[in-house]
């Protein structure tokens, strides 16, 4: 099991120049880095991979940024834009030497409203249709897509492990797996450890965040139960700290971070890593 850091804690957008942070991540002791690609034009994947290799970091995951206009349940134009974007970051993941694309790869983040049951069925079918196409493309490129449920304030489409597992069954692509995040699970799951056990071998990626989006371990999350559940399903993938602060204004607004959650931003990474190493024995 490898421990990684998502660069949203430090910057948005991620550009090739941001690889200057890689030596610090390695010095702190991270195994992997998770790169959100807001626009494929922002990076030169060959240069980013070279920088990661130089500093002994693996690029463990590319984080899909489903911004405005990228929506597999939206208009025809939105669906096309989402497909074009997702295929582009899959291609970049290949060049980055990265095995997976992760995140809410189904709909624009922030689209959360009461939807009539008949419309829900229509939207579900649209997402399934599009993910069948995207899953086939990912499989042809040797990339896994890990689908992340978000909390009710960020999407009305996929909130729980059960819903995500149903989506994976309906799509039926071996290239699709599940991505769970302790912050979202803290809001939506009755029992986080039980959700992990239910995901089982389909769990392809894991985000470790404090219940308040702060430092893992400095919160009320039942981390020992989570550690036992991950061990029980023999999870061998990456565990990534994805936390946000007010320092990165665009992400703070998107994630509703209105106050200083921790005294020092770097502590989220440094103390979080130390805690996860001990708790997960990773």
Query: How far apart are the C-alpha atoms of 274 and 216, rounded to whole Å?
Result: 10
Residue 148 catalytic?
A: yes
Q: What pLDDT score does 235 carry?
A: 98
Q: What pLDDT score does 194 carry?
A: 98
Residue 256, phi-psi category: left (phi > 0), alpha (psi -120 to 50), beta (remainder): left
CB atoms within 10 A of CB 58: 19
Q: What pLDDT score does 261 carry?
A: 84
Residues 127-143 have pLDDT tens digits of 999 999 999 999 999 99
> 6 and 240 in contact (C-beta within 8 Å)?
yes
Q: What pLDDT score does 259 carry?
A: 83
Q: Which domains does the chain have, with CATH numbers?
A: 2-280 (3.20.20.150)
Q: What pLDDT score does 249 carry?
A: 79
Residues 84-128 have pLDDT tens digits of 999 999 999 999 999 999 999 999 999 999 999 999 999 999 999
Q: What pLDDT score does 15 carry?
A: 98
Angle between helices 117-141 and 161-171 (to 10 degrees): 60
Query: How far apart are the C-alpha atoms of 181 and 235, rounded to whole Å?
Result: 14
> 177 and 147 in contact (C-beta within 8 Å)?
yes
**What is the signed CA dihedral for 261, 254, 179, 20, rounded to 10 degrees?**
-70
Annotated catalytic residue, options 123, 148, 189, 262: 148
> 151 and 183 in contact (C-beta within 8 Å)?
yes
Cα(first)–Cα(last) distance of the chain, in Å?
Answer: 6
| Residues facing residue 238 across a β-bridge | 2
Distances (CA, A) of 170 to 158, 166, 218: 14, 6, 38
Runs of H (alpha helix) within the chain? 22-28, 45-54, 76-96, 117-141, 161-171, 182-188, 192-199, 223-232, 249-254, 265-280
Q: What pLDDT score does 260 carry?
A: 82
Alpha-carbon Rg for the chain, nearest whole angstrom, is 18
Is the pLDDT score of 244 beyond 90? no
Say whether 60 sits in a helix, a strand or coil: strand
Is the pLDDT score of 282 beyond 80? no
Is the pLDDT score of 262 beyond 90? no
How, if at all, do strands 144-147 and 32-37 pair? unpaired
Look at the pTM and tell me if it is higher than 0.75. yes
Q: What phi and psi, each to the nearest 5 degrees, are found at residue 142?
A: 75, 25
Q: Is the N-terminal amide bond of 266 cis, ω within 30° of 0?
A: no
Averaged confidence pLDDT in the chain: 96
Task: Return the structure tokens found at 119.
Answer: 């419309």
Query: How far apart are the C-alpha atoms of 204 and 77, rounded to whole Å?
Result: 30
Is the pLDDT score of 23 beyond 80? yes
Residue 123 catalytic?
A: no
Residue 193, phi-psi category: left (phi > 0), alpha (psi -120 to 50), beta (remainder): alpha
Residues 135-191 have pLDDT tens digits of 999 999 999 999 999 999 999 999 999 999 999 999 999 999 999 999 999 999 999
- Grade residue 256 by pLDDT with cuts at 50, 70 and 90: confident
Annotated catalytic residue, options 38, 123, 242, 262: 242
Residues 182-241 have pLDDT tens digits of 999 999 999 999 999 999 999 999 999 999 999 999 999 999 999 999 999 999 999 999
Task: Return the structure tokens found at 196.
Answer: 């992990």
Q: What phi and psi, each to the nearest 5 degrees, are found at residue 112?
A: -140, 110
Query: How far apart are the C-alpha atoms of 165 and 32, rounded to whole Å?
Result: 26
């Amino acid at each position: 099991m490898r421990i990684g850091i998502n660069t949203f804690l430090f910057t948005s957008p991620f550009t090739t120049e941001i690889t200057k942070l890689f030596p610090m991540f390695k010095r702190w002791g991270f195994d992997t880095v998770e790169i959100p690609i807001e626009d494929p034009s922002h990076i030169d994947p060959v240069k980013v991979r070279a920088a990661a290799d130089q500093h002994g970091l693996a690029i463990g995951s590319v984080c899909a940024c489903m911004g405005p206009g990228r929506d597999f349940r939206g208009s025809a134009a939105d669906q096309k834009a989402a497909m074009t974007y997702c295929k582009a970051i899959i291609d970049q993941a290949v060049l980055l030497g990265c095995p997976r694309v992760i995140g809410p790869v189904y709909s624009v983040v922030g689209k959360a409203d009461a939807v009539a049951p008949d419309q829900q069925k229509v939207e579900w079918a649209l997402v399934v249709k599009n993910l069948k196409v995207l899953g086939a493309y990912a499989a042809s490129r040797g990339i896994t897509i890990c689908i992340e449920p978000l909390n009710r304030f960020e999407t009305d489409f996929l909130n729980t492990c059960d819903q995500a597992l149903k989506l994976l069954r309906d799509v039926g692509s071996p290239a699709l797996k599940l991505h769970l995040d302790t912050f979202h699970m803290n809001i939506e799951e009755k029992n986080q450890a039980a959700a992990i056990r239910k995901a089982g071998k389909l769990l392809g990626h894991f985000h470790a965040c404090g219940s308040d989006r702060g430092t893992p371990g400095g919160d009320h999350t039942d981390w020992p139960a989570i550690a036992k559940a991950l061990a029980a399903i023999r999870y061998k993938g990456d565990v990534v700290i994805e936390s946000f602060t007010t320092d990165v204004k665009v992400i703070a607004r998107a994630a509703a971070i209105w106050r200083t959650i921790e005294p020092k931003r770097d502590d989220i990474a440094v103390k979080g890593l130390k805690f996860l190493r001990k708790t997960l024995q990773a």
